[in-house]
Structure 1
Amino acid sequence: MDTKNESLESSLKVPSVQELALQNPKKVPQRYVRDDGDDDFCTFSSSDPFLTIPLIDMAKLVNADTQQDQLHKLHLACKHWGVFQIVNHGVSSLKNMGNQVKRFFELPLKEKKIWAQKPGSLEGYGQAFVTSEEQKLDWNDMIFLKSLPIQNRKLDLWPQNPPKFRETLEKYSEDMRQEAKSIVSFITLALGLDDTKISESFHEGLYDIRMNCYPPCPEPERVLGIVPHADNSGITLLTDFADFPGLQFLKDGKWVGVEPIEGAIVANIGHIIEVMTNGIYKAPEHRAVVNKTKERLSIVTFCYPTASMDIAPAEKLVGEGNKQVYKSMTHAEYFNRFFNRKLDESFIDSLRL
């Protein structure tokens, strides 16, 4: 794969997958085909009852009588899976935001293109991390927007159609910030850290939101909605608007499908928390698969600590026989490494000492 692009902070323009799907093709265009004989993309390896994504009850985490038991469950989920589904979280804006995203992707292509990515930027409607004309493409369309802090917003890329998209996204962003801060505070508790600096750094942190549309695909076994990857975030919060599993996480060499639970939030560890926990909690590899007859929508919020926070293992987790696994970096150094790497090289491996 040609990865000579100077930075991954921009992406080449590619055709709309929604428009391709509307033509009802019998076969997938060759540029999307990924079957190389090594994998069956539609096989969910979740028949083993022990391979189900852990469930965390936020109501039990905030209740003093049940907190310790739920913290133990959270610790095991972060350590052995890196992902869990959150129920009883109290976030009220999920459904409204899902409706706005659905209405946006239902707009004619000409209308959606008003909010298209501009050269040199990942923000807007389009596709991410396409660095060459030969590169295999994911079977999805997206709109990616920087949401918090407010001064990071490029409102010329925030859709004004549907009419309530912007105000709904503002509310959703704030809800996700509160949820991320709460989850990270419990993650640090589960790890035995009494330092609140990490969780507080997410209050003034950076929040980027990617809204995905995975159209029906005539040959779902030959494509991927999103290729396997781990996130560079601190934590990622995903809301799924489908009645079938499209998100998969790699666990013990098997892909495990996330069964959608209405109103739940899927949370997974990102590389920043992996570094801060000195590798005790790891960012899991995950991917998206697609369906032959059904569309799937998802909203992904990438949550980062404030730019003034160094990305480094917590002091309590190194020393006294605990070897430091990852480099200590400033926020700027971390992102410079991420955006100026080769796409086919492991980012987390480049952060190891």
Structure 2
Amino acid sequence: MALAPENLEWSLGVPSVKELIVVEQIETVPPRYIREDVADYPAPSDKPLPCVPLIDMAKLVELEHQEVELQKLHAACRDWGVFQLVNHGVSGELLRDMKKRTQEFFDLPLQEKKRYEQKPGGLEGYGQHFVISEEQKLEWCDMFFLRTLPTQVRNLEFWPGQPPSYRDTIDTYSKDMRKVAVSMVGYIATGLGLDAEEFSKAYQDGKYQLRLNCYPLCPEPKRVLGVASHTDITGITLLLDCGEMPGLQVLKDGQWVSVKPVSDAIVVNLGNILEIMSNGIYKAPYHRAVVDRRKERLSIVTFCYPTSDVEIGPAKELINKTGNLPLYKTLTHEEYLSRFFNWKLDRVPFIDTLKI
């Protein structure tokens, strides 16, 4: 009998959902995937749902448009905690290459993918995250997870050798995502009236992780979730959709809003670290992934963290400027992650455990 994980730093093995569909050709969803919390799909309404804000990085750079775009960015971070970013400087060719090779990886035979399978005690590799019991509900998703930057944290044992050149593509993509994160964190800090250079430097030297998601088609999509509702523990998260089919949903004013993919856009999602450092002015939104009956969906997610010597707490400069009391405790980076990995999934939201 397999040992059960003691915390969230590793996960039990789970079946490949793609194999259930492609090889076993199931026509109904196995009981362990059926969830009660899917019933709150957006209800049909005569009123159109709001759209996730669109931010143009080119306008953030240009002095002529910068002030107006910074105001839009501030409102997006305050009211949504998520936005779509265009003109971000990452080439369309690289984005297409990353999407293509990610599709090719998930299309490999299962035995080839299992060469990079997760091992007990760790999160890297092909598998699933945060499955700590045999009774736990599963997500309709196959996942591959890598630590990418700084380069010394890489474990090349998990870096896939197939398809050809995938390692090189991941390397280039990760470095370009870091450039986007460094720039955006600086602008986000500016929106709060904080030192943009200090924030940017923390992410230039920070830690980056890559999560590749495959959401196979599903015979009963309204009974499952690709990823259950959650907030991210990152500073920010950068998501690239690999197609035109909406799957990401964000909770806004009690409604689930689908994020319609925009060609070559990157979805920027604020994590708990920025909510804490903004003392609650900016929000880490609840979001989830839904699946489809007819079509598979892929997404490429980059988790962005500041360097490990940065304390996680309300920015002192902001507290001094506003005169507001801090809403959250201040922790070392190590304490923050330790609290998350020892957090009990079925209890209060993680960020609420950090409130004063």
Structure 1 and Structure 2 fold alike (TM over 0.5): yes
1:15 aligned to 2:18? no
Among 343, 350, 354, the alignment partner of 1:351 is 354
Per the alignment, do residues 97 and 45 of structure 1 end up closer, same or farther by CA in structure 2, a change over 3 Å counting?
Answer: farther
Match of 2:85 in 1: 86
Cα deviation, 1:78-101, whole Å, max 9, x if unaligned, reads 000000000111102211111111
Per-residue deviation, 1:24: 2.5
SS at match of 1:317: helix
* Aligned equivalents of 2:274, 2:253: Cα separation in 1: 21
1:178 aligned to 2:179? yes
* Aligned equivalents of 1:76, 1:47: Cα separation in 2: 26
* Aligned equivalents of 2:309, 2:191: Cα separation in 1: 24
Match of 2:30 in 1: 29
Amino acid at match of 2:8: L
Cα deviation, 1:21-75, whole Å, max 9, x if unaligned, reads 1132221000000136x7244x477874461100001111100000000000000
1:322 aligned to 2:324? yes
Amino acid at match of 1:62: V
Per-residue deviation, 1:197: 1.4
* Aligned equivalents of 2:277, 2:179: Cα separation in 1: 20
* Aligned equivalents of 1:106, 1:163: Cα separation in 2: 14
1:306 aligned to 2:307? yes
Pairs within 5 Å for 1:191-230: 191-194=192-195, 196-230=197-231
CA contact (8 A) 1:46 1:52 kept: no
1:261 aligned to 2:262? yes
Gaps (5+ residues) in structure 2?
none
SS at match of 1:248: strand
Runs of 4+ in 1 over 2 A off after TM superposition: 43-50
Match of 1:120 in 2: 121
Per-residue deviation, 1:262: 1.3
CA contact (8 A) 2:49 2:257 kept: no
* Residues matched between the structures, number: 348
* Aligned equivalents of 2:6, 2:199: Cα separation in 1: 32
Cα deviation, 1:133-164, whole Å, max 9, x if unaligned, reads 00000000010000001111110000001111
* Aligned equivalents of 1:6, 1:52: Cα separation in 2: 41
Amino acid at match of 2:32: R
Match of 1:341 in 2: 343
Percent identity between the two aligned chains: 56
SS at match of 2:83: strand
* Aligned equivalents of 2:158, 2:58: Cα separation in 1: 37
* Aligned equivalents of 1:303, 1:44: Cα separation in 2: 33
Per the alignment, do residues 270 and 48 of structure 1 end up closer, same or farther by CA in structure 2, a change over 3 Å counting?
Answer: farther
* Aligned equivalents of 2:154, 2:45: Cα separation in 1: 39
* Aligned equivalents of 1:15, 1:338: Cα separation in 2: 25
Match of 1:71 in 2: 70
State TM-score, norm by structure 1. Answer: 0.96
CA contact (8 A) 1:45 1:255 kept: no
Among 331, 334, 337, the alignment partner of 1:332 is 334
State TM-score, norm by structure 2. Answer: 0.95
RMSD: 1.5
Match of 1:275 in 2: 276
Deviates more, 1:9-18 or 1:190-199: 190-199
CA contact (8 A) 1:239 1:300 kept: yes
Cα deviation, 1:180-236, whole Å, max 9, x if unaligned, reads 000000001111113521221000000010000000000001000000000000000
